[in-house]
Structure formats: structure tokens, C-alpha cells
Amino acid sequence: MNLTDLIVQIQPLDEDAMAAARARQDQLTKPQGSLGRLEELAIQIAGMTGQARPRLQHKVITVMAGDHGVAAEGVSAFPQEVTPQMVLNFLNGGAAINALARHVGARVVVVDMGVAADLPDLPGLVKKKIAFGTANMAHSPAMTRAQAEQAILAGAEVVEAEMARGLDVLGTGDMGIANTTPSAAIAAAFTGQDPASIVGRGTGLDDAGVQHKIDVVRRALARHQPDPADALDVLAKVGGFEIAGLTGAILATAAHRRPVVVDGFISTAAAMIAAGLAPAVRPYLIASHHSQEQGHAIMLDWLGLKPLLDLNLRLGEGTGAALAISLAEAACKVLDEMATFAEAAVAGKKAG
């Protein structure tokens, strides 16, 4: 499959399924609209899936990992060795995402998209390594255009494999030291905002570190001039392999008419690339939470998304997505399992 073939598979939401879901919502034993965004969410998921009463039984969170050449610029408070160490932690079930995935009954799929280390063949690790980290975007494009497309399609392949095991909803997660820097660059490229309004503290930079990071992003954008009308150009020049993999996973999930629950800052950068490549993907996106990372609100506004949660999260890994998957499942269960006024023999709202 090539990228064009993948993109053309993404269809509009099913209006008939949404109408049927809305009609059922209005007959459930509650005042109309009294469950607020849970009602809206269930109707949206009905449109995504084409099912008037969707059920999210098979929940998958993919954590895609990659390293970044720009880490050499000192834009992270943590060393690059943390990326492969955390991948092993995910595989051993010891990270925050593992705990939260267990809590919501989701399986975690860990993918090496471009970790700058040789990872052993371990159960649960999907190897899609494009290269040992990206190039340093402060000096050269992060990757070639061919690598960007290869990484997107590799991410799509991960979803294709998971569909065969059962996938009703996908949560996006990431791991990669310094990856808030390319994510900020992607956001600045698409929105036209100055990096100073987008770049945040990442893993815990001080004020001087944040200013340095802003300067690095500005330099990269000035040097490479990524074209916001060409999302693949933006990805290749200032992106990351895990961001590209998540882009592909988002596109493939939407192509299969399944909801995509987008995590925080890095996942939202991937969603921006996906939306740039395929505007039809936007209705399949559910923003899980408002990240504490500066600039996330600007990114969500650009995508037209309203986050479900605001918990001051800034970890990544898919942690916010896991929590929001629980809400998406709850919304669908309300729609499916509540009785209507007629079924419960409860008097409905009087006319007039």
C-alpha cells in the first residue's frame, strides 16, 4: 500500500448511524442532553463506526518510540539513553501507561520506530525501525521525504496487524527523549505561531533551557522552511520517526472506521500531520486531554478539537489517551445499555 491508497480509504462519518444514535439518546430514561458530552461522544463514535450502538470492547494503545538528533542541542533535561530504557520498562509492564492500560482493559503495543540503540527481540516489541534516530533538525532535515512516507506506512502496518487481533478504538502514545522539540516545530509550522508561544518545558527545563529550545526551533524552521501546505514536507524536515508512525496509525485507524483517542503534545503533532495529509481524518479524532505543555491548546484549536480532560498531565506514553478511552467506552455503554422510556415503562417528557 502507498500513502495515497491509505488516505483515500478514509470515509466521511455515517450520517444514518449518527441519526439513529441521536434518536436513541433522545429516548433514553433521562432528560435530553443531560449527559452532555458523553451523549455527543457516543453519537460521534456511532458515525465513525457506522454502528448506531457502537461497542468498544477491544482497546489498543500503541506506544511508538524514536530518538531525535536534535537532542544533541541540549533541548531535554534527560539523556537519550532513557528512550531504550523506557521501552524496556513498557515491555516489562512497569510504566504509567501499563498501569493505566490495565485499569481500562487495553493492550499496549510497543513499537520501535527509530530508537538510537539496538533493542533485543523481546515479546511484545514490534520492530519498525527506520533509522537510529532522526538527523539533527537544527542543521539538516530530520529525515528524507522517502523515510517520512516509509515511517507513516510502517505505523499503518502496526494498526493493520492489530485489527486482525481485534481493535475497536486506538489510543496514541509516544516515547522519545527531546520529542517535544520536533512537535513544537510541527505546531509552529502549521499554525504560523512563533515558537515562543508553543515551546514548553518538556521533561523539566528551566527558563534558560526553554529559551534555548525556542531558539533551536526557530533556527530549524528558518533553515528548512517547511511548507504547511505539504504535511509530508513538514514531517520530513522537522518531525520524528515515532511521530510519523503515529501519523500512519491514525490514518489506518480512521480508514477502518474506528475512533482515534489522541494523547498529548506529541500525539497531537502527529494528528496535525495526519489532518494535513488527509482532512477527512479530523472527525475520527478524539482529544483525550489538555496537556500542561505550553502550546497544546493552540494545536487543539487548529485541529478543532475540544479535550475531554484537563488533569495537568505532561507525561505522554498514551496516559491521557488511556483515561479518555474509559470515557469513550462509558459513553457508548450509556447509549447501548440504558433503557428507553418505552422499554422501562417510564413516562417521558410531556408535550407542550
Which parts of 9-129 fold into alpha helices (H)? Answer: 15-25, 36-49, 82-91, 96-104
**329 noted as active-site residue:** no
CA distances from 31 to 27, 60, 341, 350 (A): 9, 33, 11, 11
Q: Indicate which residue of 242, 317, 329, 343 is catalytic.
A: 317
Residue given cell 413516562 in the structure block: 347
CB 54 within 8 A of CB 42: yes
User: What is the C-alpha separation between 159 and 154, in angstroms, rounded?
Assistant: 9
Cell digits for 170?
486506538
Q: How many CB atoms lie within 10 A of CB 350?
A: 5
Residue given cell 478514509 in the structure block: 10
User: What is the C-alpha separation between 261 and 61, in angstroms, rounded?
Assistant: 9
Q: Please choose, from the candidates 140, 220, 162, the residue with its C-alpha nearest in 3D space to the C-alpha of residue 187.
A: 220
CB 190 within 8 A of CB 221: no
Cell digits for 78?
534527560
Cell digits for 304?
478543532
* Measured distance between the N- and C-terminal CA atoms of the chain, rounded to whole angstroms: 57
Catalytic residues: 317
